[in-house]
Amino acid sequence: MSLTGQSFIGFSRGAGSETCGSAINPATGEALTPNTIAATDAEVQQALELAASAFQVYREKSGAEKAAFLRAIADNIEAVVDTIAERGPQETGLPEARMRGESGRTMGQLRMFAALVEEGSWVDARIENAQPDRQPLPKVDLRSMLRPLGPVAVFAASNFPLAFSVAGGDTASALAAGCPVVVKAHSSHPGLSEIVAEAVVKAAQDTGMPEGVFSMVFGGGRTVGQALVKAPQIKAVGFTGSLAGGRALMDIAAQREEPIPVYAEMSAINPVVVLNSALGESSEALAEAAYGSLTMGVGQFCTNPGLFFIPAVESDAFAHKLAELTAAGATGTMLNEGICQAYRDGIAALQGQSAVDQLALVPSEATGQGGPAVFRTTAAEFLKNEALTNEVFGPATLLVTYHSEAELLELCRSIEGQLTASVHGSAEDFEGAGEMIQILEQKAGRLIFNGFPTGVEVCHSMVHGGPFPSTSDGRSTSVGSMAIFRFARAVSYQSFPQAALPAELRDDNTLDIFRMVDGVQGKH
């Protein structure tokens, strides 16, 4: 396809008014063609109105029909993987292999949600039969299930230009729930966004979905994104990005006449606790694994391990090896100039801390390059300096040395909400670490034993969420099939005639789904 830089307003292309920049190759600083054209206010409004009217049709589509749509999107992406693999590295600095791998993950997510809604039990159908003779009062017939919220605004992420972008996890889970989606494309990768949006629109047309089930708008300067969040047609928001951006959208959503949920995934430093038993002879191997996790994707993962709690007496061999690997490491191209500059600022802020030692840093002055870095401080310093808990998005980490179990517990208590927390030690250590695990469980969405947080499996039991500020709502996940629950709400139907009930709640269970009937789970 030839790129035009124009938005998708339902099944049509927006004409736009003015350019809002273009993709910049982060490795060279060169502007790529075409220019991106910002959607006009009228086009944004049209996308919203189409989404609202599409919702009235799309919400009634069966699980099988939605599954066909989601699978068609995946198939259409599969057909353009070579185009993605060619354009993606120019826009993101990520290698071709990552483009292909992330395309696979994106298709996998879409197909996972297709299977989920086709099977159908996700709606959590519950039936309580009437008991007209119950004493002292009769019991009414009450049935409930999850229903879609309405049109969802999705803010594409910069750091997963496919799997958390136009047809990424937020879009896939919202469409699976029965919600139309209006995507605010990320300005970092407009070409990829256009390629994928075309795949989605074609799938919608080919599977008979209503126009407006999907739109994608370009626009910088925050205006287009804020207009979406303020729009009365939008009933929920999915976002991945900075804490400042997520917080701003949460505040806008809360101030609406009708406040709506914002599911924002924002900032995490993913503490890794190292216990004595993980060190000794294993110190160097652990440092090698830590280095691999820290530098994967130039550290630009929300699960990057940005913080280690490590015993002071045993830490030298680990710290020495990690510093050695880091010093010998290479710089990598970061996703965009803003992220690169933010990384350099974060490094400078750590360098400016008198109680923080720089153990290793690969300097990076060339265009768009970020180099790995390791810093070290003590628990006492960490506990009195909040600035040390700031996310430095990139391949930098801070080792914090502790002297006692009490100090380690204090460190664990001091951290804010996280996506993950990892603990390295022997199984015996782990069994005796009940209090620490309890603390960490209150801080993070995923607890990891003897592993590192990067590498997020997309599956039914994944929780990629956590208490604020890692996300705006610690009850949610943005990865895995549970992500669908963000975009649905339970509705009870009291004393409804059978014919007026959704198929999922009728006595005959023709869909053959698992349901709870009078308190008993089963396919009945």
Site residues, ligand NAP (CB under 6 A): 155, 157-159, 184, 186-187, 220-222, 225-226, 240-242, 245, 248-249, 265-268, 302, 338-339, 342, 391, 393
- Choose between 157 and 479: whose C-beta lies nearer to ligand NAP: 157
Pick the closer one to ligand NAP by CB: 178 or 246. 246
Q: Cβ of residue 448: shortest distance to ligand NAP, in angstroms?
A: 17
Q: Tell me phi and psi for residue 80, to 5 degrees.
A: -115, 20
How many other CB atoms sit within 10 Å of the CB of residue 385? 13
Q: CB 245 → ligand NAP: shortest distance, Å?
A: 3
* Whole-number Cα distances in Å, 154 to 134, 185, 216, 403: 48, 8, 9, 45
Residue 10 vs 394, nearer CB to ligand NAP: 394
Distance in angstroms (rounded) separating the CA atoms of residues 196 and 168:
10
Cα Rg of the chain (Å, integer): 25
CB 517 within 8 Å of CB 129: yes
Peptide bond before residue 453 is cis, with ω within 30 degrees of 0:
no
CB of 229 to ligand NAP, least distance (A): 7
**Minimum gap (Å) between residue 357 Cβ and ligand NAP:** 24
Nearest to 415 by CA among 464, 455, 352, 470: 470
How many beta carbons lie within 10 A of that of residue 224, not counting itself? 23
Q: Are strands 181-184 and 152-155 parallel, antiparallel or unpaired?
A: parallel
- For ligand NAP, the closer CB: 242 or 481: 242
What is the nearest approach in angstroms of ligand NAP to the Cβ of residue 242? Answer: 3
Retrieve residue 424's tokens.
């390295």
The smaller minimum CB distance to ligand NAP, of residues 90 and 159, is found at 159
Single-letter residue type at 122:
W
340 as an active site residue: the answer is no
Catalytic residue among 20, 302, 340, 412: 302
Residue with structure tokens 């409804």? 496
Q: Say which of 265, 391, 407, 504 is annotated catalytic.
A: 265
Rounded (5°) CA angle 172-175-177: 105
User: Residue 138, preceding bond cis, omega within 30 degrees?
Assistant: no
**Shortest distance, CB of residue 221 to ligand NAP, whole angstroms?**
6
Assess contact for 201 and 11: CB atoms under 8 A. Answer: yes
Is the CB of 302 or the CB of 325 nearer to ligand NAP? 302
179 has catalytic annotation: no
Rank residues 262 and 287 by Cβ distance to ligand NAP and give the closer one: 262
Q: Work out how close the CB of 412 gets to ligand NAP at its nearest, in angstroms, rounded to a whole number.
A: 21
Distances (CA, A) of 257 to 4, 47, 253, 254: 37, 21, 9, 8
And the tokens for 161? 């230009």
Catalytic sites, residue numbers:
265, 302
